[in-house]
């Protein structure tokens, strides 16, 4: 969209990386093939929620009610409703854990599908192992927790405190949206952190806009997916312009990118025929 315009410096254009969030929404709306993944995921979660509710009501509610009645010394008339409330919380907890796994898989799939639709192929994306993705998920979870807890203190600062908190939390949010890309290109965590720090304005802009749209009811249900579509569009421009991170590791290919703008008429090594 903002790439390869006449007189446009790609290094300056990437400072407004927040626009990829909006482009992700537009790309999702005008590409119905992406809707199937979202609908399938929502239906799966709905079936899982109903199934867990029925199973918990049949097999967990009676023994749990009896245990609470014995432990509290009350009748089943009192322990029954209390056990019912616990069942609801338990079902929501289990569903939330399953949803995190399902949503993560759907987000990764939409990321890959968007790159294919843009005609960009990232080496290693199709052969990315589950174990590497699992460790990446654990790493980003710990990173978010490690930043979130001390960043809460920023809310104590009058006026600008909440604003600073959003800026700080925007960085790991945007970083996580590129986790699949970094894993596919075998970029070590140290190189990732240096790349993110060198493009801090871009990551703050993207992550802050993601948080802003995430505060809007109903819309935030869709931005769970469209944010990753926008991140894929961002990666597509990085690949086509040759501005991605470089990694020389014994486990992956050597990737060196030129800091030059690629003309729009040139087909790069990573560009393939877009899918319809």
Give me the DSSP letters along 24-48. Answer: HHHHHHT-GGGHHHHHHHHHHHHHH
DSSP 8-state symbol, 245: -
Question: 88: which 2 tokens?
Answer: 């609801």
Phi, psi of 8 (to 5 degrees): -100, 125
pLDDT for 260? 32
68 touches 83 (CB < 8 A):
yes
223 touches 213 (CB < 8 A):
yes
The CB density around residue 166, as the number of other CB atoms within 10 Å, is 18
157 touches 164 (CB < 8 A):
yes
pLDDT for 44? 82
pLDDT for 266? 36
The CB density around residue 25, as the number of other CB atoms within 10 Å, is 19
Question: 147: which 2 tokens?
Answer: 């930043």
Q: What is the CA radius of gyration of the chain?
A: 23
pLDDT for 67? 85
Question: 109: which 2 tokens?
Answer: 């799939």
Question: 17: which 2 tokens?
Answer: 């990386």
Residues of the chain with pLDDT under 70: 1-16, 126-133, 246-276
Per-residue pLDDT tens for 122-135? Answer: 877 766 666 666 77
Sign for the CA dihedral angle at 28, 11, 205, 188 comes to: positive
């Amino acid at each position: 969209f903002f790439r390869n315009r006449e007189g446009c410096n790609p290094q300056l254009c990437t400072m407004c990386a927040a626009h990829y969030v909006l482009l992700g929404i537009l790309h999702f709306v005008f590409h119905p093939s992406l809707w199937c993944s979202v609908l399938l995921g929502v239906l799966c979660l709905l079936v899982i929620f109903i199934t867990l509710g029925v199973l918990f009501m049949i097999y967990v509610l009676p023994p749990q009610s009896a245990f609470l009645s014995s432990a509290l010394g009350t009748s089943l008339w009192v322990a029954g409703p209390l056990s019912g409330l616990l069942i609801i919380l338990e079902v929501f907890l289990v569903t939330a854990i399953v949803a995190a796994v399902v949503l993560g898989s759907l987000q990764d799939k939409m990321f890959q599908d968007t790159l294919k639709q843009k005609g960009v192929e990232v080496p290693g994306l199709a052969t990315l192992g589950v174990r590497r993705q699992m460790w990446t998920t654990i790493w980003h979870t710990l990173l978010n927790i490690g930043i979130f807890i001390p960043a809460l203190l920023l809310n104590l600062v009058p006026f600008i405190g909440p604003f600073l908190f959003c800026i700080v939390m925007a960085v790991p949010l945007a970083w996580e949206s590129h986790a699949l890309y970094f894993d596919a290109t075998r970029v070590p965590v140290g190189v990732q952190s240096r790349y993110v720090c060198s493009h801090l304005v871009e990551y703050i802009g993207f992550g802050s806009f993601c948080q802003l749209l995430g505060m809007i009811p109903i819309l935030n249900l869709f931005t769970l997916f469209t944010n990753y579509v926008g991140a894929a569009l961002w990666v597509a421009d990085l690949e086509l312009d040759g501005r991605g991170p470089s990694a020389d590791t014994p486990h992956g290919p050597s990737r060196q990118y030129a800091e030059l703008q690629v003309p729009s008429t040139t087909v790069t090594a990573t560009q393939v025929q877009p899918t319809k």
